[in-house]
Amino acid sequence: MTEPTEPRPTARDDDASKSRHRRMFAGLLGTLKQSKTKNDNEKDVMAKRKSIEEAVVGKNEEISRELREAQFKAFVEKRDVDEKIKFDLDMKYKETEKAFIEVQYEEWKNLISAGGILTTTEPMLVYTLNTHTPETQAKAQTSAARLEHWKTQQLERIENAINTIIRRREETAAWREKARTQGEENGEDVDVELEDHEELTLEGLEDEDTTMIGGEE
């Protein structure tokens, strides 16, 4: 008995199979294209987001830098104004003190010329006597020389104090300029190294300016 044979595919079946394969391939290509497009879109979004974040960070850093610079500039301007005021006051005080010494000298000189005696202890004063003894007469005669010595000491003391005020102001300016140059070269804020040099005022004048008006060293 002859076994039945399978029907041989016809041309129509081949066309249907090919069409089905083409549709499957086209679908796969479409899926791959969609996946690639999605990935590309995600990359674009991430790139834009990164660019925005970098721009924001850069802007924040720029704003922070500008704010620091503005604050530092305001601090320097205020400090310079305050120090100029203090410098002028220090100079005015010494000039006033010098004028007082001159007035005091002329007053005592007139009293000594009339026979007054300059005391040898503080506070220095000139006292007058109605009558003189040989001892008081000798003191009166030496008073004029001691008065001249006192005036010379006082004027030298004041002049040294004025020179110290001016010198320290110039030293401070030079120190700040040096720190400013170093800071700019290193890309840092200027004046950062002035902490130990900021107090160059009259605090050190006590050792140089210990003689009181009307007294002797």
* Mean pLDDT computed over 199-212: 44
Tokens of 84: 């100029």
Check whether 120 has a pLDDT greater than 50.
Answer: yes
Check whether 5 has a pLDDT greater than 50.
Answer: yes
Separation CA 156–CA 215 (nearest Å): 14
Q: Are 108 and 147 in contact (CB under 8 A)?
A: yes
Q: Among 89-93, 107-111, 204-208, where is mean pLDDT lowest?
A: 204-208
**Local confidence band at 145 (pLDDT 50, 70, 90 cut-offs):** very high
Render pLDDT for 168-185 as a digit per residue (tens, 0 to 9). 989 988 888 887 787 666
